[in-house]
Amino acid sequence: MNDYKCPQCKAYLNVSNNVIFAAEKDDGTKGLILLHPEIGNFESDQHEKFVIGEGEKVEFKCPACNANLKAPKARNLAKIEAVSEDNKVFEVYFSRIKGEKSTYTLEGESVEIYGEHSENYKDYFELGNIGLMK
């Protein structure tokens, strides 16, 4: 399984089988969000009273240093670092909108895209001719 790191403070964000984020909703409510560590698996979990509605956008922050993980220029995406089991370092971009299934991995010039809504940001990655991989 990949390791995931904060781009700012380099803290490991994965614990057991979760990638852990501090999150904040538009109304200022804060909580923790657990994402699945397998890229392309869009399961997520949070406290039953920290309710995020379908289509709602949340801020993803590093639980260690509180850095906002918003991707530069693509305001609906969050960006973190990843290290594969064979020590390849790459970037992972994922949607901050609940229910929007779009994740991208970027290693050098190479982009892989995951999720049924990933077309939404293809311009950002200049993906004109690259098809859906998963």
Q: Which residues bind Zn ion (CB under 5 A)?
A: 6, 8-9, 11, 62, 64-65, 67
Nearer to Zn ion, 51 or 65 (CB): 65
Contact predicate 26/57, CB 8 Å: yes
Smallest separation (angstroms) from Zn ion to the CB of 122: 28
Task: Give Dmax over CA atoms of the chain in angstroms.
Answer: 42
In whole angstroms, what separates CA 26 from the centre of its chain?
Answer: 18
Smallest separation (angstroms) from Zn ion to the CB of 12: 10
Nearer to Zn ion, 56 or 91 (CB): 91
d(CA 95, CA 7): 17
- In single-letter form, the type of residue at position 109 comes to E
Nearer to Zn ion, 18 or 118 (CB): 18
Nearer to Zn ion, 56 or 81 (CB): 81
As to burial, measured by CB atoms within 10 angstroms (0-12 exposed, 13-18 middle, 19+ buried), residue 31 is: middle
Smallest separation (angstroms) from Zn ion to the CB of 69: 8
Question: Which residue matches tokens 């949070």?
Answer: 46
Three-state DSSP at 17 gives coil
Smallest separation (angstroms) from Zn ion to the CB of 61: 8
